[in-house]
């Protein structure tokens, strides 16, 4: 056996051994990857597309700066909410795709992620009797609380001066939740001035224009404060939003899709059964029609499946139902490559060539057809991936990415693994009948 063949065989053996180790057990932990990464349609969760109102952005910021900032804040909110491996992507100029795999409390997550979370502090003015002024409807008139900053400029007191360390605490006397926050240096200067002039007066705390608390100021406060008047879930969400920062522009949900995890489990089960039946039928056809070559092709396909599954688990590739379909299609293309090679070999054997010469010539002549068909598939995958990324069709993206990886790997197994096995076998097995040609 040639030294190059021995080295290639050793490389394939190591690669297969590594692949088996990586995927055994399939739901085991390897390099920090716990099992296969499943998409929304298999794992369940939420799929949201937000549209940003860029007309409300700060004119001093570019569109790219605003969208980058919003993406970062949404990601921090999703991670803090406990969603594992959220997918947050910008689409076009003003749209953001948010995928929350495994998230069951979709409405709460949607509210948390899309809320601007602009925290404002407002004060009242007193009438002649010392009571807060009210409008015609009898409601208290609130005005934005301002102070003089360190640069001698008048500034509004908002959540942008908060440190990202807000936390939920329980009030000792009543066991009610409250959000404790802390100001940065500039916020402390403003807050001290505002509380000083509002002692024994209410100080309104507003979130996105809605009053959530109006405590009476008992003393001058500088560095910190608390927000009350909410239940535990609302308090936890507010703490997350304050720590991530308020969104730079308002967001509106324009597309929403939720998937039940039960449907995903049923889809996985049916996909595995269908895939197993298909592989068995393909293997039987290859073995019965191409005999020894079919056995080697089946072995090559098994190696292909092991390596492909390892790639899906370790990269990781997010598998969707469309992605599983693409994996099955890529297996079909791997078989197709072997069939092209075997048919070329049979032609050479009928022409009177030896087994070894038929193998080499068959691969060389089949390579052009395999290359052209796979390159065409790659181009289609790139177009589909772009389409899915641009228009938020995550199933199309999953199909395109999985098919691209599968077809690329099928080229390796067909041209390298199958060729090596056939070349080695041709030195020992000389009967042309075993390669599908009558002796």
Domain ranges of the chain: 3-39+260-435, 45-114+252-258, 119-245
pLDDT for res 257: 78
pLDDT for res 134: 84
Q: What is the CATH number of domain 119-245?
A: 3.30.1360.200
State the angle between helix axes of 394-412 and 321-350 in degrees (0 to 180), rounded to the nearest 10: 30
**What DSSP character marks residue 38?**
B
Q: Pairing relation of β-strands 177-182 and 224-227?
A: antiparallel
Judging by beta carbons within 10 Å of its beta carbon (0-12, 13-18, 19+), is residue 286 exposed, middle or buried? buried
d(CA 436, CA 439): 9
Residue pair 264/44 in contact (Cβ under 8 Å)? The answer is yes
Domain range 45-114+252-258, its CATH number among 3.40.50.720, 3.40.50.970, 3.40.720.10, 3.30.70.3400: 3.30.70.3400
pLDDT for res 431: 79
pLDDT for res 60: 80
pLDDT for res 263: 59
Hey, what are 283's tokens?
């293997």
pLDDT for res 340: 86
Over its C-alpha atoms, the chain yields an Rg (Å, rounded) of 32
Within this chain, domains 45-114+252-258 and 119-245 share the same CATH topology: no
pLDDT for res 85: 64
CATH architecture for segment(s) 3-39+260-435: Up-down Bundle (1.20)
pLDDT for res 412: 85
Hey, what are 182's tokens?
């802390």
d(CA 81, CA 42): 21
pLDDT for res 378: 93
Half-sphere exposure of 141 (CA within 13 A, CB side): 10
Consecutive 10-residue runs of the chain (439 residues): their mean pLDDT? 82 91 80 73 81 84 87 79 72 86 74 78 81 82 91 88 89 87 92 91 85 85 84 84 78 81 69 80 87 88 89 80 83 84 86 85 86 91 85 76 89 85 83 74
User: What's this model's pTM, rounded to 2 decimal places?
Assistant: 0.63
The CA–CA distances, whole Å, from 179 to 18, 71, 127, 169, 228 equal: 50, 25, 32, 6, 7
- 274 Cβ neighbours under 8 A, 6+ residues apart: 328
Question: How many beta carbons lie within 10 A of that of residue 374, not counting itself?
Answer: 19
d(CA 392, CA 159): 32
d(CA 360, CA 167): 70
d(CA 240, CA 242): 6
**For residue 208, is it left (φ>0), alpha (ψ between -120 and 50) or beta?**
left
């Amino acid at each position: 056996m040639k030294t190059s063949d021995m080295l290639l065989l050793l490389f394939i053996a190591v690669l297969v051994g590594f692949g088996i180790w990586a995927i055994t057990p399939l739901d085991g932990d390897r390099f920090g990857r716990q099992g296969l990464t499943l998409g929304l349609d298999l794992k369940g969760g939420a799929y949201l597309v937000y549209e940003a109102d860029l007309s409300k952005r700060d004119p001093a910021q570019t569109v790219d700066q605003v969208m980058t900032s919003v993406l970062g804040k949404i990601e921090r909110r999703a991670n803090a909410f406990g969603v594992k491996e959220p997918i947050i992507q910008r689409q076009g100029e003003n749209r953001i795709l948010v995928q929350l795999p495994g998230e069951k409390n979709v409405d709460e997550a949607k509210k948390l992620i899309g809320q601007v979370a602009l925290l404002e502090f407002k004060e009242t003015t007193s009438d002649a009797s010392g009571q807060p002024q009210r409008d015609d409807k009898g409601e208290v008139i609130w005005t934005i609380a301002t102070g003089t900053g360190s640069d001698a400029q008048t500034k509004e007191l908002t959540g942008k001066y908060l440190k990202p360390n807000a936390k939920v605490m329980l009030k000792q006397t009543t066991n009610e939740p409250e959000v404790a926050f802390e100001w940065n240096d500039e916020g402390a200067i403003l807050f001290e001035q505002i509380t000083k002039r509002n002692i024994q007066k209410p100080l309104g705390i507003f979130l996105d224009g809605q009053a959530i608390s109006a405590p009476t100021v008992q003393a001058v406060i500088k560095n910190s404060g608390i927000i009350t008047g909410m239940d535990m879930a609302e308090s936890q969400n507010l703490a997350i939003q304050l720590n991530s920062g308020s969104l730079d522009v308002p967001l509106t949900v324009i597309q929403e899709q939720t998937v039940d995890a039960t449907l995903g489990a049923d889809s996985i089960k049916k996909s595995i059964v269908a895939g197993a039946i298909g592989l068995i039928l393909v293997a039987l056809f290859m073995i019965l029609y191409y005999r020894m070559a079919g056995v080697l092709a089946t072995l090559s396909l098994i190696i292909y499946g092991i390596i492909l599954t390892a790639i899906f688990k370790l990269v990781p590739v997010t598998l969707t139902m469309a992605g599983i379909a693409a994996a099955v299609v890529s297996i079909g293309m791997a078989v197709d490559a072997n069939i092209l090679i075997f048919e070329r070999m049979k032609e050479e054997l009928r022409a009177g060539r030896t087994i070894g010469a038929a193998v080499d010539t068959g691969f060389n002549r089949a390579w052009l057809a395999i290359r052209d068909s796979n390159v065409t598939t790659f181009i289609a995958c790139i177009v589909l991936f772009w389409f899915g990324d641009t228009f938020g069709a995550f199933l199309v993206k999953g199909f395109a990415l999985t098919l691209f990886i599968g077809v690329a790997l099928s080229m390796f197994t067909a041209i390298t693994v199958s060729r090596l096995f056939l070349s080695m076998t041709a030195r020992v097995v000389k009967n042309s009948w075993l390669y599908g040609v009558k002796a």
